[in-house]
Structure 1
């Protein structure tokens, strides 16, 4: 069977799941529209101010809209956040103090957080450099949260629990909202003062609720991922309990300035419009993960999540088994990207990553992972992480080339 026929069969098999995704998109869009209407968003909110960014009505309204959409008390949505890692770091530095303990409850954190914590590198002002203790609860052999271990894991000085929602560069299931709610419940039972923090990258609008709807105190993410709707050119957000959000904002700017500063550089319209489009764009990307998982499972490759399993983020992992196939897959995705289709991805060092990484991303916004992209570290078992896609039909076209590039197992 050729690659085109394989994809046609997959599309037919997934029709019911695609219909369910469309219903969820409608639900999430209703939530966004309600917030826009409640805060009376109008064209006058698109104008920005210069300099310090004081009294930026658009920025202040966007923060309120975003908080309502996310089920949070407050939010700061800023183009000054360089990345999701930067937003997460601001949240961690805002909350934690010397002598506090941070406990990661879903095994090892994403590569780019290792230097923030102090697990790699030295002398750059990591959390460990500042006297913050770090501990992690390993996953079970099945790659799941160690629920039994978590039930007794919280100490008196455990100030913050780090919950990484997405699988990152690990072979595990991304967390569902129900699992996150269970983590919060177990943590708060042991110490009500422990802050439950979620790295929400890749997870926004995947389900009909966000972590802050189910008791999470604070979360952070990137605007060039899900909530930017593929339009926002840079930035990130922090959302949650108002005092904790302000503490994070004080790390982004300075104590005494916090959320009151920061020019928006005439980006307000894109920030609002990206949020409006986000549910639809995420829905298309999720369809793409199902399609990718389905066809590569049929080709004999281990895939995570499983072909028909519920999704926890916009990432589909495929265990390709060799560096040659990993590079070939990324080259095929690049060749069927709208931007830079003529380029060949090659493995290279990336700031913040432990291993060399090969990345395909012919995206309109550099590094946007809600647009179709694929990447993976050059280390065994050579897993490619395929994510995003503004419309599933683009994913299907690119997959045809990827199937032909790597073949069956």
Structure 2
């Protein structure tokens, strides 16, 4: 490690001391989720022959079929669809939504505006891109209340008989709010089912897997999607996504991924099967490492007088840590230092730039083995007030500590802290 500034040495010692009980709690979380995962592997008798690849149509690929069953078991769902053919989390979510929605249906988001990348999926009048709007699906977005919670009065006001899918987003995105816990998501599901028991409760679960001992499909969520280059891929899955939930709804999503009548019965796994299995096995531990890193970062910035969300001792339901800085130079230095602390592309210096779809310049650090793999340590931020960095991931606790400490050290050396 580098020679630390005396003030930073004191802050690191304080952070390590106060965070220790929380880190022990995370160790117990890792143990619980690891055992749940092992039991799922054992139940379906996973063997090395399941890791063999298939070609062409991929008919009777037992490894692929068992992988779906293992995922469903881990997530407490009736069925699963796990494929490298999903190009991203957005693609996976879009597949699920297009699978269950039909012209004339309405999609109601109750947790505020979704991730920026989903806005093109929702679409606008006459966009001609094949968006949900283009196919006659109406979408209504209900903003969160000032407390960051669901505004139930506004939900009831926006409700209509054509609402078929109620969508929720577990993680915070670029919002200064807490992620939603499994218990809260279960309560949201119960409340919308009281309005219409036939409505489909859909969840974008990205960044949330294995951060608690239960998953949202265990508390009533009907259909759920996520990315394999985030939590459940364990840092090994090279690409892909998963959909889990009620059997009929997963089947409809499979028809959208391939074609009606074909569904989940085809699709060679392109040599990814072993990595996806092993990544799922490692995911509880890897997610725990990321959580430990986020807790340490929050404690460190608290000791230095910065505001973070969640705080080091707050409940956590995703792997994202938001930190507010006093000025843009601190924000940029932090993100650049995360990149500089990476094992991959450490020589690259990220700079703010005008990314398509964003209102302000954005800076992103991602020195990752898997391109865009956000279970690995990464950070990004829009350059706007209040100056907030969003850090996520970290396959090892040590890597997160090194990244965060070196970022603060750099700010002190440059006299901007």
Secondary structure at the counterpart of residue 75 of structure 1? strand
Are the structure 2 counterparts of residues 120 and 3 from structure 1 closer, same or farther at C-alpha, using a change threshold of 3 Å? farther
Are the structure 2 counterparts of residues 125 and 208 from structure 1 closer, same or farther at C-alpha, using a change threshold of 3 Å? same
Q: Is the counterpart of residue 90 in structure 1 residue 95 in structure 2?
A: yes
Secondary structure at the counterpart of residue 206 of structure 1? coil
Distance in structure 2 (CA, Å) of the matches to 1:256 and 1:322: 56
Q: Which residue of 2 aligns with 1:245?
A: 250
Secondary structure at the counterpart of residue 2 of structure 1? helix
Alignment of 1:273-292 (within 5 A): 273-292=278-297
Secondary structure at the counterpart of residue 317 of structure 1? strand
Q: Is the counterpart of residue 326 in structure 1 residue 327 in structure 2?
A: no
CA RMSD of aligned residues (A): 1.7
Are the structure 2 counterparts of residues 120 and 23 from structure 1 closer, same or farther at C-alpha, using a change threshold of 3 Å? farther
Q: Which residue of 1 aligns with 2:227?
A: 222
Q: Which residue of 2 aligns with 1:361?
A: 366
Alignment of 1:139-154 (within 5 A): 139-150=144-155, 153-154=158-159
Secondary structure at the counterpart of residue 281 of structure 2? helix
Confirm or deny: 8 A CA contact 2:124 2:134 kept in the other structure.
no
Distance in structure 2 (CA, Å) of the matches to 1:77 and 1:335: 34
Confirm or deny: 8 A CA contact 2:88 2:227 kept in the other structure.
yes
Q: Which residue of 2 aligns with 1:42?
A: 47
Q: Which residue of 2 aligns with 1:179?
A: 184
Of 300, 307, 310, 1:302 maps to: 307
Are the structure 2 counterparts of residues 4 and 261 from structure 1 closer, same or farther at C-alpha, using a change threshold of 3 Å? farther
| TM-score, scaled relative to structure 2 | 0.94
Distance in structure 1 (CA, Å) of the matches to 2:38 and 2:394: 23
Of 181, 204, 209, 2:209 maps to: 204
**Residue 303 of structure 1: CA displacement?**
1.3
Deviations 1:17-71 (A, max 9, x none): 1111111111111111111000000001000111112111101000000000000
Distance in structure 2 (CA, Å) of the matches to 1:376 and 1:342: 20
Are the structure 2 counterparts of residues 354 and 51 from structure 1 closer, same or farther at C-alpha, using a change threshold of 3 Å? farther
Confirm or deny: 8 A CA contact 2:50 2:62 kept in the other structure.
yes
Distance in structure 2 (CA, Å) of the matches to 1:27 and 1:52: 37
Distance in structure 1 (CA, Å) of the matches to 2:41 and 2:354: 42
Confirm or deny: 8 A CA contact 2:18 2:299 kept in the other structure.
no
Distance in structure 2 (CA, Å) of the matches to 1:353 and 1:93: 25
**Residue 4 of structure 1: CA displacement?**
3.2
